[in-house]
Structure 1
Amino acid sequence: MTAPTTTAPILRVDGDRLWRSLMELAEIGAYDDERTGLRGVNRLALTDADAAGRRLVIGWMREAGLTVRVDRMGNIYGRREGADPDARPVLTGSHIDSVATAGAFDGCLGVLGGIEVVRTLNDLGITTRRPLEVAVFTEEEGTRFGTDMLGSAVAAGRITLGRAHALTDRDGVALGAELTRTGFDGTACERLDPPHAYVECHIEQGPVLARAGVDIGVVTGVQGISWQEITLHGRAAHAGTTPTELRADAGLAAARIVTHLRAMVESGAYGELRATVGHMAVHPGLTNIVPARAELTVDLRNPDDAAMARAEEDLLSHVRALEGEQPGLTASVRRMARTAAVPFDEEVQKAVARAADDHGLAHVSLLSGAGHDAQEIAALCPTAMVFVRGEYDGISHNPREYSNPEACAHGVDVLATTLLRLAEPVPGAATDAVPRS
């Protein structure tokens, strides 16, 4: 596609209205975090809190005049019609599900920013040639059902609906059953027809923008992600009477995996590898018993797919070697998720950069270290992202996550201008910029 020219209009959204929406949604699933003393958000996918948040967002979509549909994966789409009903829509959005210790902005800024763009177009009476759609994708975090970007992956066809519905949480509850229970088992087809373009606004979740002293990130792509679940089976034994050489200690093996992953990262042999063990549990979990079983998850990130594959092979080889070091120790490895590195469309990146320039906002290009729905939708259409600067080195997945009102408004200004240009304002329609309130 060809990037829009800079002769198209500049849009400024109502930053105060956007902020009020963010803060109201943050009250759903809110909790008081004892570690930070701050108000956090716990809105895991398809819990009652997530369902309440979804209903609030749907209400805002309808108030903005959007026609809402829910697909069989629970993905929500709000559509603003264009002058050409046959034109492919310009899509924006993100997610509102969270991790258990979240802030108010991750995913939510993209969804509520999209709705704010529609409100601004309505306020100005602007008609676009192409329809504009705002999406809320199901289970982006992957925290509950073990596969991240799940709703968008189904929409893009990488994961089948049946496989997604069969996924279970740690309590054995199936995603399909939770869609039914919460009332989000929609009837629309889960496969998304290719849009004209997709642009997602998101907090950076990192320190690059703040340290560079710039407002906007033009995202060049997303690095590869690999999630593994490792279960180690040892043998329970008395902590005082069992000689060390006779033990099959699953907890020791788990610790060896953690230290090996750190050594892999520090070796430099796998490029810009990052490795995290985010969950680890030993059983029976008693002070005086050698652990009989250990479970841990491994999160690998790498912008180089070949280096990622080598890291995965190294990890598996290490696990197999551990089996031979302790008689009676066995291990199983299950891949939870795997996505390749995804480059974003250069022309859409240019459109974002031009919008930032036209708003007088400094910007840099950067690769995303986190996964986003945009990487899935990139399989369907030209795609890019707008990153918004965060405070406190961009900390995220934490109640300290914070992007100030001005930063959020700047990001959504760039989103609004980019979307309008991609959707092509109808000649003669009102296109003056909305002054910042």
Structure 2
Amino acid sequence: MGVVQLLRFAFVVVITCQFGAHGKVRYDGYKVFRITPRTQDELKWMQGVADRWETLDFWKHPTKVGRPVDVMVSPAQQLDFVRSASRPGLEITTWISNVQDMIDREAAEMINSKNEVNAANFDYNKYNTYEKIFAWMNDFSSSHSGVSMVQVTTTYEGERVYGLRIAKSPSATNVAYIQGGIHAREWVSPATVINLINMFVSNYGSDDTVTSMLDNFVWIMVPVYNIDGYKFSRIEDRMWRKNRNPNTGGCAGVDLNRNYDYEWGGASKSKCAQDYQGTEALSEPENSGSKAFLQSFGSNLKLFIDFHSYGQYWLYPWGYTRFDVAHPDKDEQNALAIKVENSINSVHNKNYFVGESGPDMYPATGGSEDFGYGSLGVKYSYVVELRDEGTFGFELPERQIQPTAEEIYAGMKTLGQQLVAEYA
């Protein structure tokens, strides 16, 4: 059996064996291997391995010497993957021996989640269902002056994607936009955006920095951008990443963060890959609709942030290339990001790596940070990878929601001060 046939066979085995009796995807026996390249040769080797195994779920791609590569592998593929990745001197360790055990532990910790869906009793320290989040958005907007729900776009399955619009001053014209949950399994992202909304509004009038931010800018904050995928990750497949486009004739889902229209076309063309880019730029209604919405603000749009997990990075364009390509705003983007990171670090002593997305993490075409800067013309366009650095990965315990939000809130205040000083 040739390599291509072997990979196809292994993929069929994964799909066949992954579903339990009731259709819910399980990850029994799935391992997450961690491989840390120590030289440039080892890094190039691992990049080649990632290219050969593009349908595997790389939680952390090969990026830099000394930076770990995390990849989830099914039982059917483990022996072949280890053989393919092995080379003298390169250590392959098992970081997670059974992914399903982590999922089960997470579910057990979440079992006592409250059922209240009003703003007064909403539990900000839980990974809430989308239904609870939507109910909270409704109640929160009706309970606070200057806060309203605004439709940003729609999903493949027809859900309306809402953000909360915070407009405390009728004279404010500048717009700051924040989104979370573009990748379904990154649950701490929506939880962080929800907490930021609450912190901003709750501290308006008592915190001078926050008051200035909300008086001089309209803030539009979307907790769950990829609603279809988020719902699916809660009910069917905890590790689901993409949207829910069925992709007739292939595996479901398009990676919305490879589908934006700036430098689209260099991500995976395989419908079964986690980073499948779609049939064309903005092929997905989530992205085409949000572009139209954001373009309506013209030059008044001054901030674009897309929250992800995990790794603890604060990154700016360009993301489409691994090479350092000059642009006129890079120094200012970097300088502000460093100030933000210093504020983040001051809260709980967590370090966030600051850098250029493609060269300093890994290149990805059609990404949100390049869309914000290249397509929308927003100077301060960032993609942020939240906690943690790799202990829990996507299954960050709920007890870390609040400290994550606290440190990001501190960073956002520093960023807000810059926005007000520069644009107000």
Question: Is the radius of gyration larger for structure 1 or structure 2?
Answer: 1
TM-score higher than 0.5: no
TM bin, normalised by shorter chain, reads 0.3 to 0.5
Higher helix share: 2
Compare the two structures and name the one with the higher strand fraction.
1
TM (norm. structure 1) is 0.43
The alignment's TM-score, normalised by the length of structure 2, stands at 0.45
